[in-house]
Structure 1
């Protein structure tokens, strides 16, 4: 059993955060204007208008957080000569990519959640809540906050309900580093809610779970 990915949608039906771990098929780069900046750097479209930050940033690939600290471009350069290190290990080929771009994928995930939630409420009444559903290849888990944020996690189909994990992410890292952070606009409709500390804390929380392998 394992965990594949995490999506966070705001009350405007927009994906504002994404992180993955054990995905074997990577999402394709989103089309220009198809996603908000600061949601997930590896799939953000490049070109004019693309936000680039090369200093003291944190990048994530497959959920692994890597700190990158570039030297100050205006400061003195080191006079030490660089040394090339030969590595006998051949570079690994990039992982296969999905046929869908990230913006299309996130819209499909939200569409499934919205459709199933509405169907359950019509069939069972307003007091019935949609928490997860399972297919032969994955299981989708949902936790929705009173403010309209939807936390969606995809896992192995054999995993138990991870709704409590989504609630932990919301009550812990999300409230601490997003809601209570005056520098993060959680409802700006112009930018994602990505935050270095939030991403690292979420990654640490998920990797500490017994279901994570």
Structure 2
């Protein structure tokens, strides 16, 4: 048994946080404008590097290492991080981009939740469902945030884990943090302390392998 991924959605149906552990196929980066910043750097759109045309008379340097333009004398800032970044080994990716995947996950949760309320009444709650390949767990807060976790289909209910994430790292490092903007119309809620604390909590579970 194991845990695959964690999604957090706000009351506006927007994915504001994502983290994964044992996924064999990672989602493709989201399309430009399809995801908020500070959701996850792994699925945020990669910046497009500007290509310099040799036929352009304005561009007189051919390498990013040349920081001095001979024609204007203007020093061009160079991003050292791009130079020193070690190339990562390629990983298998799923056919969907992350923004499409996040919408599908939320659509499933919303549809099943509405169906259960209509069939069983308002007091009935949707907490999880199981397929042959995964199990989806849901915890919804009074403020409208939805914590969704995908795990092995044989795992027990992990709703208590989602509740611990909300009452622990989420309240401590997101809600009570004055530096985090709780306006999901502009950006997500990812920060180093919340991600590290959540990762430590998940890895400490007996279901995690």
TM-score (norm 2): 0.80
Distance, in Å, in 1 between the alignment partners of 2:184 and 2:29 is 23
Listed one character per residue, the Cα deviations across residues 83-138 of structure 1 (whole Å, up to 9, x for unaligned) are xxxxxxxx984221000000000000000000000000000000000000000000
Q: Is the 8 A contact 1:5 1:19 kept in 2?
A: yes
Count the aligned residue pairs: 172
Tell me the equivalent position of 1:27.
27
Equivalence map 1:51-200=2 (5 Å): 93-200=89-196
- Distance in structure 2 (CA, Å) of the matches to 1:111 and 1:41: 23
Distance in 2 (CA, whole Å) between partners of 1:180 and 1:137 is 37
1:177 Cα deviation from its structure 2 partner? 0.2
Larger radius of gyration: 2
Question: C-alpha distance in 2, partners of 1:129/1:34?
Answer: 30
Higher share of residues assigned strand? 1
**1:10–1:187 CA contact under 8 A, matched in 2:** no
Provide the C-alpha distance between the structure 2 equivalents of 1:192 and 1:24, rounded to a whole number of angstroms: 25
Q: TM-score, normalised by structure 1?
A: 0.78
Partner of 2:82: none
Q: Which runs of 5+ in 1 are unaligned?
A: 49-72, 74-90
How many angstroms does 1:47 deviate by? 2.7
In structure 2, runs of 5+ residues without a counterpart are 49-76, 78-86
- The superposition leaves residues 16-63 of structure 1 with CA deviations (integer Å, 9 ceiling, x where unpaired) of 000000000010010000000010101111237xxxxxxxxxxxxxxx
Give distance in 2, aligned partners of 1:197 and 1:33.
26
Aligned-residue Cα RMSD (Å) equals: 1.5
Q: Deviation above 3 Å: which 4+ runs of structure 1?
A: none
Distance 2:12 2:172 in 1: 22
